[in-house]
Amino acid sequence: MQALLAFENAPPLMAPFRFFITAPLFGVLAGLLLIVEGPSLFSSRWMPGTLAVTHLLTVGFMLQVMLGALVQIFPVVAGANLWRPLRLSAMLHSGLTLGTCLLAGGFYFGSPLLLSVAAGVLLLTALLILGATTHALIGVRSTSPTILGLKLALAGLAGVVGLGVLMAWGLAHGWPLPLPMLADLHAAWGLGAWAGVLLAAIAYVVVPMFQLTPGYPARPGWLFPCCMLLIVLLWSGAVFFDIPNMIRVVQGITALLGLAFAGLTLRLQLKRRRARADATYRYWQIGLAASIFALLMLLTAAMWPAASEIDGWTLFFGITLLAGGFVPFIIGMLYKIVPFLAWLHLQNQGQAKVVAPNMNKILSDADMQRQMKCYALAVVLLLGAVLFPEWLARPAGVAFALANGWLGFNLSLAISRYRKHSAEIALKLAAR
């Protein structure tokens, strides 16, 4: 089960790259904030600094890369050409970057004004991407699970942004909202219906293509995004009608769905045709292991709610799922997508007269492997800091900032090499 790819529809390189190169900077900011605040960030998920770090990671890093991926994937996978992709990317990138800085600042400084403005900016940015992608999708049939997943992920994006804006304005203006319950629901829309569905939709393409595995089976591929969106809708209904038992049931089903997807991906990876484990494969292994552990924690909490009241449980779960699960998946994909796109554009530029350099000459596996080890150490330190915050909080911040800075350096290096090879190809073509 693989979607047909139309690389001739690919947007200009800088349309997705501006998102990819910016995302690590927010990871660096999160690490620096951890160094400054130290152990206090691990005392509760409701600490201002903890909320700021969480949103630097989820909005600044994850959403930044995901919007860049959408700009690239929509025309190539779905045949849905976005209106003026370079201009659209510039507008989205500006709104998202500004909105994230304001949001993190609003949480950290406890500023109602910053929270209100951030919510408005991020709402406008979300409406822009939803409007552009919906317009592009008019007339596009769901001929593959990837296209269906992209469409349903947009509904997830609308849900997570809508709840986020509601809570931000509620905090800023003192509205009487059930914030803890809404925060859990906000996370379910963000990590389940949006990030989870989009990750699966992209995995259907990139895992078989880049890791040389068999394709995902068709039936689970079609069912996963539909079931995940339905479950999150049921979760929303349970919160709205205040039915705690139903919330626990849907939490458990969400965990089982995620475990099924992770298990299926592991099974496919066992059948891959490439023997050597490159950095992308290692990153996916880290992400799958951490996700499975986090989902087992979610399943445990659904069956035994008292578990979530254990000191450090929620923080350990959040760090495992975000820093250990989603972010490694995203970095693993970046490490394949960035050199591949650079190679693709160089190949097109060569017009079959000048051969593009191998992808390893754009971004070498040795560079990626070293950065991956640094990131893995950062995750271990972050998890250890939940248990021993006084000893490990600041070392974890240093490692996390270093790993993200290293990622940004590697991606910048790839762009620099792309430009160098592009200039060489232009000279060779001119000399003919």
Within 10 angstroms of residue 72's Cβ, the number of other Cβ atoms is 24
Query: Residue 431 — very low, low, confident or very high, per pLDDT cuts 50/70/90?
Result: confident
**Residue 353: per-residue pLDDT:** 86
Identify the CA nearest to 379 among candidates 282, 256, 300, 307.
Answer: 282
pLDDT at 3 over 60: no
Distance CA 43, CA 109 (A): 18
pTM, 2 dp? 0.95
Give 274-292 pLDDT, tens digit per residue.
Answer: 778 889 999 999 999 999 9
**Residue 333: per-residue pLDDT:** 93
Give 17-47 pLDDT, tens digit per residue.
Answer: 999 999 999 999 999 999 999 999 999 999 9
Backbone angle region of 146, left / alpha / beta, with phi > 0 → left and psi within -120 to 50 → alpha:
alpha
pLDDT at 2 over 60: no
Higher pLDDT, 103 or 355: 103
Do 92 and 62 meet the contact criterion of CB atoms below 8 Å apart? no
pLDDT at 5 over 80: no
pLDDT at 375 over 60: yes
Q: Is the dihedral of CA 59, 197, 151, 338 positive or negative?
A: positive
pLDDT at 1 over 70: no
Do 231 and 257 meet the contact criterion of CB atoms below 8 Å apart? yes
Identify the CA nearest to 318 among candidates 377, 379, 258.
Answer: 379
Across the range 231-252, mean pLDDT stands at 95
Do 22 and 64 meet the contact criterion of CB atoms below 8 Å apart? yes
Distance CA 93, CA 14 (A): 11
Distance CA 237, CA 247 (A): 9
Query: What does the DSSP assignment read for 354-374?
Result: SPPPPGGGTS-HHHHHHHHHH
Do 337 and 369 meet the contact criterion of CB atoms below 8 Å apart? no
**Residue 4: per-residue pLDDT:** 58
Give 189-228 pLDDT, tens digit per residue.
Answer: 999 999 999 999 999 988 998 888 999 998 988 999 999 9
Query: Residue 251 — very low, low, confident or very high, per pLDDT cuts 50/70/90?
Result: very high
Distance CA 382, CA 392 (A): 7
Do 29 and 104 meet the contact criterion of CB atoms below 8 Å apart? yes
CA of residue 281 relative to chain centroid, distance: 17
Residue 44 three-state SS:
coil
**Total residues found in the chain within this entry:** 432
Identify the CA nearest to 126 among candidates 180, 166, 179, 170.
Answer: 166
Helix axes 197-211, 279-303, angle to 10 degrees: 150
Give 301-330 pLDDT, tens digit per residue.
Answer: 999 999 989 999 999 999 999 999 999 999
Longest dimension (CA), the chain: 73
Distance CA 368, CA 144 (A): 32
Across the range 110-121, mean pLDDT stands at 97
Residue 171 three-state SS:
helix
For residue 285, what are the CA distances in angstroms to 232, 262, 325, 327? 26, 10, 9, 12
Distance CA 149, CA 146 (A): 5
Give 75-91 pLDDT, tens digit per residue.
Answer: 888 888 888 999 999 99
Tokens representing residue 226 in the block: 């539909």
Query: What is the radius of gyration, based on Cα positions, of the chain?
Result: 21
Do 232 and 192 meet the contact criterion of CB atoms below 8 Å apart? yes
Mean pLDDT of the chain: 94
Distance CA 275, CA 236 (A): 44
Across the range 147-161, mean pLDDT stands at 96
Query: Residue 9 — very low, low, confident or very high, per pLDDT cuts 50/70/90?
Result: confident
